[in-house]
Amino acid sequence: MSTTVFRIGGDLEVRRLGFGAMRLPTDPGPDRENSLAVARRAVELGVTLIDTAHMYGWGANEELLAEALHPYPDGVHITTKVGIARSVPSGEWTQDARPDALREQVEQALRRLRVEHIGLLQLHRIDPRTPLADQIGALRDLRAEGKIGRIGLSEVTVGELAAAREITDIASVQNRYNLLDRTHEPVLAACEAAGIAFLPWATVAWGQSGATAEIAAVAAEAGATPTQVALAWLLGHSPVVLPIPGTSRIAHLEENLAAEGLRLTEAQRTRLDRLSGAGAGEGEGKNGEQGNQGERE
């Protein structure tokens, strides 16, 4: 039986099944009120790891979580990501991990989240125009100053992870990964070998799990939903996997978290393991998170 907790960086204890806040609407009105309720319900149900990013609404998602949850209950950790900026002329996003840009985004995150310290901060994308040593070095400096506690990466290769680890300790990796898309299996293997937390996004294959006959069949046998099967498979696949499924509906949130209690048989796991995992290529994940928009409604 897999444990339900993990210590990120060896000491930051979280429940392995977390919550991704990207899907939460932030504009004023009934949808925002619902978003606040979803975030609060997640914590009521025992979620201790909530994922957001500067890019999600350009800070609006961070502010939403602070409105919903601050002062944060003991043991609840909001992890955010920096390193993506919006172009003023076009409105499109691009990597920007220059040290000054990273420092500014961290300062903004501290203000928006209403905290003095972020337990886990992740680099949303490696900036190809800035030396890696400058990017990771800036985060290392922020950690030394006490503004962040642990450093993570997102959408990286095995080689990039290794290069970053030569500069400083890396506590987490957040890559696209699910039962139907295992492009980053080598990265997961590297994380498992090093005890690094692996936070998959697009955890339920953009809601397509139920369209796969084998997953649907296992779900029927187990008395569960295809989504729950996909999440239970992730939890049992590697002890370092910390899924962060996102949704904007309380019913789906409750369905997701119930997957923690689903125990797949060895025979069922074998059948699921045989699925090809042929999903989007690594290049798509490197370029954006458009697919994550359809995670769960």
Per the DSSP assignment, residues forming a β-bridge with 6 are 14
Catalytic residue among 16, 22, 49, 56: 56
Q: What Cα–Cα distance (Å) separates residue 264 from each residue in 128, 189, 223, 224, 268?
A: 41, 22, 11, 10, 6
Cβ atoms of 31 and 25 within 8 Å: the answer is yes
User: From residue 89, how far is each of 37, 96, 195, 256 by CA, in Å?
Assistant: 35, 16, 42, 39
CB within 8 A of 128, min separation 6: which ones?
A: 95
Which tokens in the block code for residue 157? 């290769």
- Which residue intervals of the chain are DSSP H helices? 30-44, 60-69, 99-113, 132-144, 158-165, 185-194, 213-222, 226-237, 250-258, 266-273, 282-287
- Known catalytic residue at 177: no
Cα gap 209→233, rounded to integer Å: 12
Rounded Cα–Cα distance for residues 259 and 271 (Å): 18
**What whole-number distance in Å separates Cα of residue 247 and Cα of residue 35?**
9
What is the DSSP-derived secondary structure letter of residue 181?
Answer: B
Q: State the greatest distance between any 2 C-alpha atoms of the chain, in Å, as a whole number.
A: 54
Crossing angle of helices 132-144 and 158-165, in 10° steps, is 50
**Which residues are designated catalytic?**
56
